[in-house]
Amino acid sequence: MPYVILIFLIISFIDLPDLIKGNSKKELMVVCSILCFGFVLSSLYALGIDLPSPLVGIENFLRDVLNLGYKK
């Protein structure tokens, strides 16, 4: 777990100062959102919590919502 925190701190210290200096608030919000989402998922994985595969959700979305399934 400490490695996950260290990696995300390094990424934040590299990426965020340029966005803060550039006054690009929308890009800053997007980058912070992606970093937070990635940090939560990485932390859960590092703690040994079993995460579901995103491919199952994508497949269900394509098949049920967009009707793009294949016939067997």
SS3 5: helix
72: pLDDT strictly greater than 70: no
Per-residue pLDDT, averaged over 12-38, amounts to 89
Q: Which domain holds residue 32?
A: 2-65
43 within some domain: yes
SS3 52: coil
pLDDT digit string, tens, across residues 44-64: 999 999 988 889 888 888 888
72 within some domain: no
50 within some domain: yes
Q: Looking at the 3D structure of the chain, how many domains does it have?
A: 1
What's the rounded Cα separation, in Å, for the pair 25 and 62?
33
Indicate the pLDDT class of residue 71, thresholds 50, 70 and 90.
low
pLDDT for res 16: 86
Name the range with the highest mean pLDDT among 8-22, 29-43, 55-69.
29-43
7: pLDDT strictly greater than 70: yes
